[in-house]
């Protein structure tokens, strides 16, 4: 059994087509067909059902695909890990939502790099997008708002909890309020984080639970942009209480009922994690303790 046979087999499984697999791998269809026949002969198993315009896995083929895919992933991880020895250390790819970055960075990464000498590459994405990229192994880890439905699919560590506030300019009609309800916001123009953020989903869910539809005038990930909108006093924004907002120009109003979120680091389950990535994760775990 050869790794290239497993590559061909897994490609056919993904595309349900020898033709598509051949196109993606830049080989001929007969090359893939021969490799699969040899694999079935060696295993003494039938791996595929062949239908008119489509092929599908047999029960044995499904079980073999899971093992073959795991072997290929481990092989790639091993090659990546050991091919870097003696070369310039590859940067650890970390996803961060833009506004969360103001709570943790650059102090966290500066401290980590000073202690370990390992390079870190930060990539700004909303928590929803960052999670999907960790799952796809396009990021090594991510700091995220952890209030999403499939958090159990990841390894994770909570770093802190923060509460939502409604932020307005000093001239806003609600600037003197101590707390605010969603009923009070039903005719408010608001600003939300981008649609790839957990905050966006959380706020919209709270509106929907009240039978309300928010009047969103802007989606953005930049605190500077949000505060510029708020200065005029005609709109408000949902922020986290820990964000650095100048109290001379803006008011942070507590929300009733309270909305809180956990923030932390996530990394993928069930795969080999390089030592340099684990060093970063361990450092982050201790950072807030």
* CATH number of the domain bearing residue 270: 3.40.190.10
Listed residue (172, 144, 183, 188) closest to 251, CA to CA: 172
Whether residue 224 sits in one domain with residue 196 = yes
Domain boundary among the residues 29, 53, 83 is at 83
Listed residue (98, 134, 138, 77) closest to 265, CA to CA: 134
**Weakly modelled stretches of the chain, pLDDT under 70:** 83-89, 103-105, 288-289
Q: What is the pLDDT of residues 37-51, one digit of tens each?
A: 998 999 998 998 888
Distance CA 139, CA 88 (A): 19
DSSP 8-state assignment for residue 54: -
Match 């994770």 to its residue by tokens.
Answer: 156
Q: Which domain holds residue 36?
A: 3-83
Answer for the pair 214, 203: CB distance below 8 angstroms, yes or no. yes
pLDDT of residue 88: 57
Whether residue 52 sits in one domain with residue 137 = no
Whether residue 251 sits in one domain with residue 174 = yes
When divided into structural domains, the chain yields a total of 3
Domain boundary among the residues 83, 106, 134 is at 83
Whether residue 97 sits in one domain with residue 65 = no
pLDDT of residue 15: 83
DSSP-assigned states of every residue in 70-98:
HHHHHHHHHHHHHHTTTSPPPPEEEEE-T
pLDDT of residue 89: 65
pLDDT of residue 85: 58
């Amino acid at each position: 059994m050869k790794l290239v046979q497993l590559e061909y087999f897994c490609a056919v499984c993904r595309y349900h087509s020898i033709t598509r697999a051949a196109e993606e791998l830049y080989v001929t269809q007969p090359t893939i067909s021969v490799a699969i026949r040899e694999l079935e002969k060696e295993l003494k198993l039938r791996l595929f059902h062949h239908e008119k315009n489509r092929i599908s896995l047999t029960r044995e083929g499904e079980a073999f695909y899971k093992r073959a895919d795991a072997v290929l992933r481990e092989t790639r991880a091993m090659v990546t890990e050991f091919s870097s020895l003696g070369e310039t250390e590859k940067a650890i790819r970390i996803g961060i939502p833009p506004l969360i970055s103001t709570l943790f960075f650059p102090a966290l990464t500066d401290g980590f790099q000073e202690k370990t000498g390992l390079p870190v590459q930060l990539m700004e994405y909303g928590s929803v997008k960052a999670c999907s990229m960790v799952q796809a192994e396009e990021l090594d880890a991510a700091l995220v708002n952890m209030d999403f439905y499939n958090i159990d699919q990841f390894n994770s560590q909570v770093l802190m909890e923060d509460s939502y506030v409604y932020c307005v300019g000093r001239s806003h009609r609600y600037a003197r309020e101590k707390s605010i309800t969603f009923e009070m916001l039903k005719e408010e123009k608001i600003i939300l984080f981008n649609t790839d953020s957990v905050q966006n989903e959380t706020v919209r869910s709270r509106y929907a639970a009240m039978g309300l539809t928010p009047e969103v005038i802007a989606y953005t990930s930049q605190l500077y942009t949000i505060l510029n909108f708020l200065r005029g006093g005609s709109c408000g924004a949902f922020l986290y209480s820990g964000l650095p907002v100048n109290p001379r120009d803006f008011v942070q109003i507590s929300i009733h009922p309270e909305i809180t979120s956990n923030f932390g680091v996530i990394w993928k389950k069930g795969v080999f994690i390089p030592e340099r990535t684990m060093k970063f994760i361990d450092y982050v775990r201790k950072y807030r303790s």
